[in-house]
Structure 1
Amino acid sequence: MRVAIFDFDGTLYSKETFQLMMNHLKNHPEHSSRYRQFYRTIMPPYIGHKLKIYPEQKMRERSVQAYLAALDTFTQTELEQYFGEIAEQMHGDLNLTVVERLKNHVANNDYVMLVSGAFTPLLHAVTKQLPIRTIIGTEILYKNNVVDHRTPLSHVQGPLKTIKIKEALAGQDIDWANSYAYGDSHSDLPVLELVGHPVAVQPKSKLRTVAEQRHWEII
């Protein structure tokens, strides 16, 4: 079985999910009051990252956890509705070239996967019209049907992506040499290196350097 693995931010989606999520919370007609506490929480790790004294991975983990904490009273239904609102704003910014590649892989009977650090309900909402077999994202936990923001999230990024991919494909005979992966940043390298056909999509400078040195396809 061949697989085709797609990153989301900067790849299938041409912009950054977290910035849109921040703006949605800040300007929300009902929930904008939650933004101030969220902003205060994320600023120390963000500044530390900019000063190069706090790791980017940790900064991203803290930010995602803080965002969920800002939605601490949401039921699962309310949260899915909230992410549906965000998804509606994203459809016009999908990378149409990458969407076409995805559909071509489906037509070729490749097993299509979406793997991202974005929240899983948001990924399902924004891609519900696309023929994706498996979606791997950052799962949200609930306690008594209310968001459990106190339990640390397992934020899917970097090497954890490859672990999750292999878990999802356990027991399958994968033709890695003839499989594809699409990503835009250096942090996607562990996934891109899994396959025989890595594709750099609008790559950031570090990934572009690697892609050019290794003669990978660049979109």
Structure 2
Amino acid sequence: MQLALFDLDNTLLSGDSDYEWTQHLISKGVLDRDSFERRNAEFFEQYKSGTLNIHEFLDFQLASLAENTHADLQTWHEEFMADRVRPMIGQKARDLVKRHQDNGDLCAMVTATNSFVTGPICHELNIPHLIATIPAQENGRFTGKPRGTPAFREGKVTRVEDWLESMGLCWKSFERSWFYSDSLNDLPLLSLVSNPVAVDPDSTLHAYAESAGWPILSLR
């Protein structure tokens, strides 16, 4: 048995779904452009530099879910998929996922971006399992807070191991394991798999991958 794990933003996508979701809501007039565009850009730069406070970011990012109905969110998300997400999915990314699927590998997307935003993207890429930050809900509405451990940095390791344990599996269950990621934030999980792959990596991960002898792949 083999395991293939895929980061989403700037890995399988040639962009960041969290950032683009907020930009989409700004373009719809759902969020105020002046305040939210500036804050969105600040968080995006913090993520890229490895300094993001995930709880501060989630307070910002999940607020829009709490402030709107599921029906409206679903309509906006369908537009988001058509206008912003599908253009960010290249054939090389689809082919990579398909190669692992055809090989019979257990496949999962592992992303810090919340499951409302990423669930349809996971389906679009034909990946059967999603490990993402979970937005909490009460009485049929989002609360604006995460439920459980956010799938970010070391939290990705925790969430993957919990997922494997739920199926009676662990790292030793697999002959080989892959994790594909672009980000220095994913070093904790990249360091655990037998086959870490840096995909269109940021400068820090690129340097680390070169020094460690990890493959460097482009899906662009």
Q: Normalised by the size of structure 1, how large is the TM-score? A: 0.83
Matched, 1:62 2:56: yes
Post-superposition offset of 1:3: 0.7
Are 2:182 and 2:200, in contact at CA under 8 Å, matched by a contact in 1?
yes
1:72 to 66, 73, 91: 66
Letter in 1 for 2:186: D
Give the alignment's Cα RMSD to 1 decimal: 2.7
Structure 1 unaligned regions, length at least 5: none
Post-superposition offset of 1:20: 1.1
Give the whole-Å Cα distance in 2 for the aligned partners of 1:141 and 1:201.
31
Give the whole-Å Cα distance in 1 for the aligned partners of 2:71 and 2:130.
19
Letter in 2 for 1:13: L
More strand by share: 2
Instruction: Between 177-186 and 95-104, report the one with greater CA deviation.
Output: 95-104
2:150 to 146, 155, 158: 155
Give the whole-Å Cα distance in 2 for the aligned partners of 1:98 and 1:39.
28
Give the whole-Å Cα distance in 2 for the aligned partners of 1:160 and 1:176.
21
Q: Percent identity?
A: 25
Question: Residue 196 of structure 2 aligns with which residue?
Answer: 198
Question: Residue 24 of structure 1 aligns with which residue?
Answer: 24
CA deviations 1:109-134 (Å, max 9, x no partner) are 10011011112122111232333121
Matched, 1:98 2:98: no
Question: Residue 159 of structure 2 aligns with which residue?
Answer: 164
Tell me the matched-pair count: 210
CA deviations 1:42-74 (Å, max 9, x no partner) are 48x75x969x9xx8231x432332232234332
Aligned 1:39-188 pairs, distance under 5 A: 42=39, 56-58=51-53, 60-88=54-82, 89-149=84-144, 151=145, 154-170=149-165, 171-172=168-169, 174=171, 175-176=173-174, 178-188=176-186
Indicate how the Cα distance of structure 1 residues 119 and 111 shifts in structure 2: closer, same or farther if over 3 A, else same: same
